[in-house]
Amino acid sequence: MSEENTATETSAEQVAHTGTQEEPDTADSQPVPEHFRRELEEARREAARYRTERNELRADAESWRTQQEAEKTELQKTQETLTKRDEQFKALEAENIRLRLAAKYGIAEENHDLLGSGSPEEIEDRAKRLAVMQKEQTRPPSNTPVEQLGAAIRPERETPPNAFPAGWPV
């Protein structure tokens, strides 16, 4: 590290001396007082020192910017993942509510999509209505033939015409 400082000081002095050797001629060719020359030379050395420090720090600043961008990218990736998982969680939660209410009210699997989405209260209201509709539609047919279909009544059966088959739950 000390070798680098020595090299930069040497280059700063070279830049400062290079600048003092090429002084422009003034129009009236009056000599410049010595204390002004010394101040000018000192200002040039200081400027050269600042330039070399700036050049040395430029690489550090660039690596810091790259690191910040990498961290920012990681943060954005994490936020996107969190957002996606949040959406998945909400979808699973809604599905859980629908399945729970479908089981509670005895809704057939083919009617699960009719529960829709929304708040749990809305889904429960739909589940109640679907349960009522399903009970009305799933009444087992009677053994009584319908006259319009042309079926004949057979009196030789032991079961009454309005009885359910033995395998049906009552």
DSSP 99-125: HHHHHHHT--GGGGGGG-SS-HHHHHH
pLDDT digits (tens, 9 = 90+) for 84-118: 999 999 999 989 998 998 899 888 888 888 888 88
Condensed to tens digits (0 to 9), the pLDDT of residues 80-92 reads 899 999 999 999 9
Which region holds residue 118: left if phi is over 0, alpha if psi is between -120 and 50, else beta?
A: left
Longest alpha-carbon distance in the chain:
144
Report the range of poorest mean pLDDT among 1-5, 61-65, 105-109. Answer: 1-5
In a domain, residue 144? The reply is: no
Domain that holds residue 107: 34-138
The amino acid occupying position 131 is: A
In a domain, residue 39? The reply is yes
pTM of this structure: 0.39
In a domain, 147, yes or no: no
Number of structural domains found in the chain? 1
Q: Judge whether 101 lies within some domain.
A: yes
**160 occurs within a structural domain:** no
Q: How many CB atoms lie within 10 A of CB 118?
A: 12
Closest CA to 13 of 42, 38, 35, 45: 45
Q: Tell whether the model's pLDDT for residue 46 goes beyond 90.
A: yes
pLDDT digits over 11-38, tens only? Answer: 545 544 554 444 555 555 677 788 899 9
Nearest-angstrom CA–CA distance, 19 and 53: 19
Residue 85 within any structural domain of the chain = yes
